Amino acid sequence: MNKPPILQIGPYPQWDQEPLDAAFQVHRYFEAADKGKLLAEVGPSIRGIATRGELGANRAMIEACPKLEVISVYGVGFDAVDLQACRERGIRVTNTPDVLTNDVADLGIAMMLCLSRGMIGAETWVRDGSWAQKGLYPLKRRVWGRRAGVLGLGRIGFEVAKRLKGFDMQIAYSDVEAKSYASDMTFVADPVELATQSDFLFVTLAASAATRHIVGHKVIEALGPEGMLINISRASNIDEEALLDALETGKLGSAALDVFEGEPKLNPRFLALNNVLLQPHHASGTVETRKAMGKLVRDNLAAHFAGQALPTPVL
């Protein structure tokens, strides 16, 4: 049986690459020295695209593949896929939700604890001899019993809130509407008001054109000079210029970030700050979750080409 030809946009771990190569005729876009030439050569035959959340598939790529039927995203975010182009062509789109939810929530909580308690600096304090030479590490701020806001109470936001309850925190959230499954949390419709009521603000909402820079200067300044912003969603949900300005001037206390505009080449202004925790977009980065994500990418492709229902459709 002929293997369906697919275009692979970015690399996957070897444990995913081998079964992908076994099931499909894979053209590796990311390895091509001349990507335009590759698209011109193989685009007319491509029936599927396997991509990653941050890489997506833009309109030009989609239009270069006239036989394209399905795009399978390795990741929960699909904002980098041109959904309008897919709708126009009847192209199916899938992602990998649920399997990464708990790991992403775990990292969000870990980032809050790490930054609030100064753990990176504290380890350096031990390693560089400061503990022996200078004495006790400077005091930091507690987490338990304080106020937490969750912006976007979807799968990941709900798991973050569940974990925050273990710290006896006062928990509020914003979403498009109040959620019936969150009756023990306070619903605050306005993100600015949510920030006003929060010591820690977790950004966990899905990214779209409507949410671009939803965390702008008003939200950031409402969070204030004692507040902490934690982003485990997408970089586009935050106005980075407003965030950097607030961090540099002290209008915002601190930020813990796993995603950045233009990553991995983040704005160098971040590197000069000592009130940020910087992570390399690895909230889902556990062996267990990444294996589950890779399998779901392949399962969605296989289901489509077999004429079966897609396990996790977006379109």
The torsion region of residue 135 among left (phi > 0), alpha (psi -120 to 50) and beta comes to left
- Mean pLDDT value of segment 8-32: 97
Average pLDDT value for residue range 84-106: 97
Helix (H) or strand (E) holding 137: none
**pLDDT above 80 for 75:** yes
**Residues forming the active site:** 234, 263, 281
Evaluate if residue 68 carries a pLDDT over 90.
yes
C-alpha to C-alpha distance for 22 and 30, rounded to whole angstroms: 19
pLDDT tens figures, 119-171 = 999 999 999 999 999 999 999 999 999 999 999 999 999 999 999 999 999 99
Contacts of residue 118, defined as CB under 8 A and 6 or more positions apart, other chains included, come to 137, 138, 140
Q: What is the DSSP letter of 118?
A: T
Residue 1 confidence class, pLDDT cut points 50, 70, 90: low
CB-based contact 266:260 (threshold 8 Å): yes
Write down the mean pLDDT value for the chain: 97
CB 11 within 8 A of CB 32: no
- Asked whether the beta carbons of 107 and 232 are under 8 A apart, the reply is yes
For range 43-56, the mean pLDDT: 97
Write out pLDDT tens, residues 161-219: 999 999 999 999 999 999 999 999 999 999 999 999 999 999 999 999 999 999 999 99
Q: Catalogue all structural domains in the chain, each as residue range(s) with its CATH number.
A: 5-95+288-306 (3.40.50.720), 101-278 (3.40.50.720)
Whole-number Å distance between alpha carbons of 97 and 312: 7
Query: In the prediction, which pLDDT does 160 show?
Result: 98
How would residue 31 be classed by pLDDT, with cut points 50, 70 and 90? Answer: very high
What is the distance of C-alpha 8 from the center of its chain? 20
Please state the pTM of the whole predicted model.
Answer: 0.91
